Structure 1
Amino acid sequence: MPIDVAKALAAEPRTTPISWGHKDVQLYHLGLGAGVPATDPDELRYTLESRLHVLPSFATVAGAGLAMAGGLSAPGVEVDLAAVLHGGQSVRVHRPIPVDGEATQTSRVQAVYDKGKAAVIVLRSEAFDADGPLWTSDSSIFVRGEGGFGGDRGPSERLEVPSTAPQFTVVRPIKEEQALLYRLSGDWNPLHADPGFAKLAGFERPILHGLCSYGMALKAVVDTVLGGDVTRVTSYGTRFAGVVFPGETLRIRMWTGEGRTQVTVTAAERDDAPVLADTVVTHS
């Protein structure tokens, strides 16, 4: 079997120095659609270096997102990248991410689950700087055709969507060029840029990065529920439930209370087809 579970779990973490600066943060925020209107003081917190703060989801691209790539080349993991899907993502921040930083990032295979026809690999990355832990990030990678090895099925709980009306609903348009801009933060998969490659993968045209939708949803929660204060976010997790295309519109619904906001994200033009599910932001 291409995935040697025991070997993957026993492997020493890979350690990589990473660094970022204000331009990396600004580029990431612009890739999420920040800066509209360009002179809005609330948007300048995402785009102007003298006022800049950092969305916690930036952890997924800090250091050009090398944690996931390193995890998929870990000892015991040999998979066909064409069979790989990003199934879910979570980030826990231990303190606010600085605008300019240098850190050491460790990456390892945290778990491997047997889903029958597929395997799920959980890749964990942790970042530390001179002052201590910064963030812990888990990526759940769905690998088609690699299940059936008799392992633990892992968690399978799904969050019920509340029966009450959401306290907040916002729509966020996805610009035609947004995937082209977002990929400059480090995800160069041609699926998000090359129409021919997208058709080979079974899509009518390039799709938006799941992690871009992930960041857009967090920004919506910060701006709508948390008064624009990124430092109130403590963790954020989601399951990628479907694709969205540049040019479409995200509908983001929020139910909030008791330090927790549950979110659903759908594609408005396609009868609210699911994009992000099982999505929760915890906060102060």
Structure 2
Amino acid sequence: MSPNLRMKAWWLAGLLAVSACLVKPAAAGSLLFCEQSSQQSVARKSDLLLFSQQVRQLLDESGHQAAIISRSGLDLERFHIRLSHAGISLRNNPNSPWSVRQLYYACDEQRPHLYDQGLPGFLIDQPQGSNVYLSILLLPAKQEDQLVQAALDNKLSLQLLGADYSANAYPFSTRYQNCNQWLVELLAHAWGQLPRAGDGRKQAQDWLQQQRYRPDTIDVKHRYMVWATNVVPLVHNGDHPDSELAENHYLLSLPTAIEGFVRQQAEGTERIQVCLRGKTLITHRGWDDMADDCSAAAGDTVQQLD
């Protein structure tokens, strides 16, 4: 691959990795996404572990049994994207309290899996020096009970796991799937009380369309970036409508779309945002977004990590 084309491929990989899952690395050079890893100092890892302890305490004190939890990951500020990956944090997760059930892509096996990951592991994959953002949705009792039941149903969770992974999977096609898409399809089964027989993914997507689920639109600006998917592993065009590709658009399930849908479906959902800037931890409650620089607004809680 020429240096210029490789640069474009990396640019596209960074953009479309907004919906890439937790990635278990393989040997270097095997897959473009799998080559990416964040280098962190010991001090940075220590701060992120303290951050995860504060998040767990917040969840413990909430009185809830589950939370939809979304985090930042790759540095995507230039694309005006803050949160990249979402999962379900469960108080009674068999792995450990508040572990996050999610889809992840295993680079060594080159296939997606379901994975229950403890909060420290879920939160620790953050670029060195970047602000860390986390968004937590606490649901009303009825929707929370339905989600807990669905999330802990291993048969249903695996039924909704797509065989082929694509970071830019189209939300209304069963050809591919990414991690956020698995979550929103699980929400469809939990809240739509859909039948277990038949094509579970197709049923979920039909219900989502009936409920006017609106995925996020990513504008890649240039036609050559759409073409570049031919040389970037784990991104594909084959499931996307020609009309969207002609406009250089990808429709994706990102945490912002999921949160908007949850707010629409479950009136009374509480949103808590947490960010970490250096050693300063800020907690913000409400549906307005935190500042881009992780600064505190009136009414926010500010504390220093020990």
Q: TM-score range by the shorter chain?
A: under 0.3
TM, length-normalised to structure 1:
0.27
TM, length-normalised to structure 2:
0.25
Identify the structure with the greater helix proportion: 2
Identify the structure with the greater strand proportion: 1
